Amino acid sequence: MQNKTLGASVIIAGTSIGAGMLALPIAVYNVGILYGISAVIIMMCFSAYGAYLISKACVLYPKAESLHGLASTFLNKFGSKIILIATLFLYWSLCSAYISGISSKIVACLNIEHLSTFSSYAVSLMIVIFMGVCLIIGTQIIDNINRFAFFIMIACLAFIIMMLSTNISFSNLALGYSPNVLNFLSILPLIFTSFGYHIVVPSVSSYVNHEDKKINNALIGGNLTPAIVYLMWVIVVLGSIPDSTMKTIATSNNSVGALTRVINNLINSTLFEIANSGFYVLAMLTSFFGVSLGLRDYLTEVFNLKHTLNGKIQAAALTLLIPLIISIFIPSFVKALGLAAVPLAILAIFAPIVVILNIYKQKQKNISIFSKLLMIASCLLGIVIIVTQIAIVLGFIPSIS
């Protein structure tokens, strides 16, 4: 895998792997290990298919620098506005969550939370300035820093898994509740959003000069890496914690927090705590890099900004200042990410299919029967994810807290 291809693959994988993976063991526990693993693999495949369609559209129409360029060219005005609203809602919210999450963890690690609330705001501002400078300099510097952060993150995770593996009992993996339809449906939005890197696909496609082979290799690596990480994490965590304890965790009001406390209590080690904190911060940082990069290119195209220093500063400001304001003044807005699977399904499933169909129609290309079946299956899955996510928010289907 060539240098830029590796970098593109790492950007995709880093965008996917985030703090949200902490909830995956609970989700899998609720349906059983085999059903849970099957759900991860299914979501990975359909997520990869949506990303492939976006990359294919970028290759066929290289003028587009982002999803906005594709949507405004191959969708009607209503479709373009839906894509715009979904993109800004989802990714500004995510950036706000990353700013808040990284700053709060850094403040806690430095033990300066007692000084004043200003210390948290100052750290948030420094994070935004750092990211803004990276966005202005360009994709190459983001690739270099992100690659370094990603490999340290993987090293931290490997150490965590190695430490936890000493407690594994395979009898714990014959686990959980009897799977039912509602339990299985409830985990699909969470797992789907764990592969939510699609905004960055046009950016990495441009980064590798829209070369089919390179972007396909990047997508393969960028999808397989988080899938392997998720499966290893789920197996090690569930194998290390007795079934009775997992049942208590799964039924608690703050199940993710309860799981985190149990994991920390399993290994009484300062190095383990450092690795845990390091992984948490770096997972959010690499996700922040990917989302910010994709959003920068998206907003550059939306506002028709030039690729000059002034244009790059404007794009970075549009990308980061609104999330910063949200994180400081409207922190409760991040709760809207409970609906994250809805805009993601629009951006990762429905939009790529409609765009590629219109491109093929315009270029008078035929679509194979297999491709049509994949598109139909993807649309059905997208509908299931959206309906399930709304049902979870309305309380008709149990959620993971």
pLDDT of residue 364: 85
pLDDT, residue 171, reads 79
Pick the CATH number of 3-394 from 1.20.1260.10, 1.20.1740.10, 3.40.640.10, 2.60.120.20: 1.20.1740.10
State residue 128's pLDDT score: 96
Residue spans of the domains in the chain: they are 3-394
pLDDT band of 375, cuts 50, 70, 90: very high
Query: Phi-psi region for residue 290, left (φ > 0), alpha (ψ -120 to 50) or beta?
Result: alpha
Report pTM.
0.92
pLDDT of residue 384 exceeding 70, the answer is: yes
Are the C-beta atoms of 398 and 186 separated by less than 8 Å? yes
Rounded percentage of the chain residues whose pLDDT exceeds 90:
67
Cα–Cα distance measured from residue 219 to residue 54, given in angstroms and rounded to the nearest whole number: 11
Exposed / middle / buried, residue 315 (Cβ in 10 Å: 0-12, 13-18, 19+): buried
Supply the pLDDT for residue 118: 59
pLDDT digits (tens, 9 = 90+) for 189-223: 999 999 999 999 999 999 999 999 999 999 999 99
pLDDT at 264 over 70: yes
Q: How far apart are CA 202 and CA 218, in angstroms?
A: 12
Distance CA 352, CA 5 (A): 22
- In 306-371, where do the E strands start and end? none
For the chain, first and last CA: distance in Å?
A: 39
Would you state the pLDDT for residue 133? 97
Mean pLDDT of 334-363: 90
State the DSSP code for 179. P
The confidence score (pLDDT) of residue 343 equals 95
Mean residue pLDDT of the chain comes to 90
pLDDT surpasses 60 at 175: no
